[in-house]
Structures are given as C-alpha cells and as structure tokens.
Amino acid sequence: MKSLANEFFLTMENGARAHQKAHPDRYDLIANGIKDELDVGKQVELVEQMIAQKVDAIVIAPADSKALVPVCKKAQQAGIIVINIDNQFDTTVLAQAGVKFPFVGPDNRKGARTVAEYLARQLKPGDPVAIIEGAPNAFNAVQRKLGFEDAINAAGLKLVSSQSGFWETDRANRVAAAVITENPNLKAFLCANDSMALGAVAALRAAGKLDQVLVVGYDNIAAVKQLLQEGRVLATIDQHADRLAVFGIEYALEMLKTRAAPADRETPVDLITKDTRTP
C-alpha cells in the first residue's frame, strides 16, 4: 500500500485482513505500506523484500506511477504475479519496459467529475474555485485534476488556483490558507482526497470562512463523515478502499490458479453527500 498515515489505506489493509481471515485456507497475507505518500524509495524496498521472500503474488497500490514499474517488472520476471490496484501505472512507461500488469481500480477522472458536478450545481457561472491536487507523480492525482477541470469548464466556473497538497492534511492546509488570502471571494475548494479536504476545512475555520466556501473531497474516510453531516464538507467520493484490496487479491488468486492474465477491471465510485443513506 501507499501511506499508512492515510486512513484510506488503513481501511484497505483492514479489508484485506478480513478477507484473509475469512479464507485462511486459500492464502497467507503479508500487508505493508510506507510512512507517507512520497516515500517511493521505501516502497521499492518493500517490493524487493517480497521478491527475496519468494511470495506468489504482489498486489500493489504504487506511490509513483512510473518509479515502481522497474521493480514490479523484476518481480514478474521472478515468476511473481503482480496486480496493480488503486493508482494505475503509467501506460507509456509500461510500454517502454515491455511489461503489463492488470489494473483493478476506479475511473478516477469519472469520480472526480461526479463530485465536482455536484458542487457546480450549488454555484453559478463565473464563481471562483480552487483545486488542491494530489502528488503530481501519481496517475490518479492527474486523473482527478482532469475530472475536476471537466466539471469546472462545463459549468463555467473560474479556476483561480490549482496546487498540489501531496495528499497530506498539513500541506493542504498551508496551500488552502494561501489561496484564501489571495482570493477573498473564493467559493469552493475541490480536494483530490479527503485528507487534504480536512486541511482545507481547518484553513477555512482559521480564516473565519467556514460558511462562505464549499469543500469537496475524495475517498469517504471516516474523518469526513461528521463534517458531511455538519455541512463543512459538501460531498466526497467513495471508492470502497476495503473492497478495492479484496478485488486485487481475488484477481491474484485467479491468476495463480489459471495463469491467465485477466483484463483490467473498473471498480465502483459513488457520490457521498449529507443525505446519502448507506445500507
């Protein structure tokens, strides 16, 4: 996994562990992650460790869409099945390396567009908005930015700032604080994950603008549920972290059994608002 400091990946880990506990006869599970989203070198090291341990399969949410390709190719060459989940590997880099890994995960552009369209319905054309992006070396961050921009352009909103918060609450807080100062009439923040939405909300609270600027996020982590009910976060996208891990594991088990590479699989994304009712 990527950063275990991010609740999304803890949820992913819990989903994987629950699945293994329910199927102890099918496989053994090693679950690990890095300390933060940018510790790419450590994630490469974790894959190297799995190769040395001669695991049968690796299910990976890569921290970097390009930098993890060589070590995953090394794993595949060692006879290990590699499944790419959550953040898709860069297709150009895969082609250059002459390798392919099945991708199991959501359409991030579609998810971001969905939550941004919901936000746009609360605004009017010409309203100034800002994007807080994920890490620029991550494919899903790029796709979410594009999805936000799709909806912003279609609604005629004015994008006044688009900067990276590198997936982290503190960094996003600093970015948001600066954007608020520079754009006193700002109407909304579109945040590429919920951790950064928390940072934006904190910045708005400090600026006394909680009731003036809307915030949307992505991931539906537990920490935003109360903020959704309070109206501090307008909406988020649930990409079902617990199920995402299981989808990847099931694909790995299928490939170990059949040795046939399955096609990529798109997993669901759902809009979550204050009024969303979960079963």
What pLDDT shows up at residue 4? 84
Q: What's the pLDDT tens digit per position in 181-224?
A: 999 999 999 999 999 999 999 999 999 999 999 999 999 999 99
Q: What is the model's pLDDT at position 38?
A: 79
Cβ atoms of residues 232 and 210 within 8 Å: yes
Give the pLDDT of residue 185. 97
The class level of CATH for 108-238 reads alpha beta
Question: 7-105+240-268 adopts what CATH topology?
Answer: Rossmann fold (3.40.50)
Please state, in angstroms and as integers, the Cα–Cα distance from residue 192 to each residue in 124, 195, 220, 251, following that order. 22, 9, 11, 27
**The model's pTM:** 0.88
Burial of 136 (0-12, 13-18, 19+ CB in 10 A): exposed
- How far apart are the C-alpha atoms of 50 and 57, rounded to whole Å? 9
3-state secondary structure at position 59:
strand
Please give the pLDDT value at position 36. 80
pLDDT of amino acid 279:
46
Pairing of strands 103-106, 158-164: unpaired
Taking Cα atoms as reference points, which of 26, 94, 92 lies closest to residue 82? Answer: 94
Residue ranges for the chain with pLDDT beneath 70: 277-279
What residues does each domain of the chain span? 7-105+240-268, 108-238
pLDDT at 278: 55
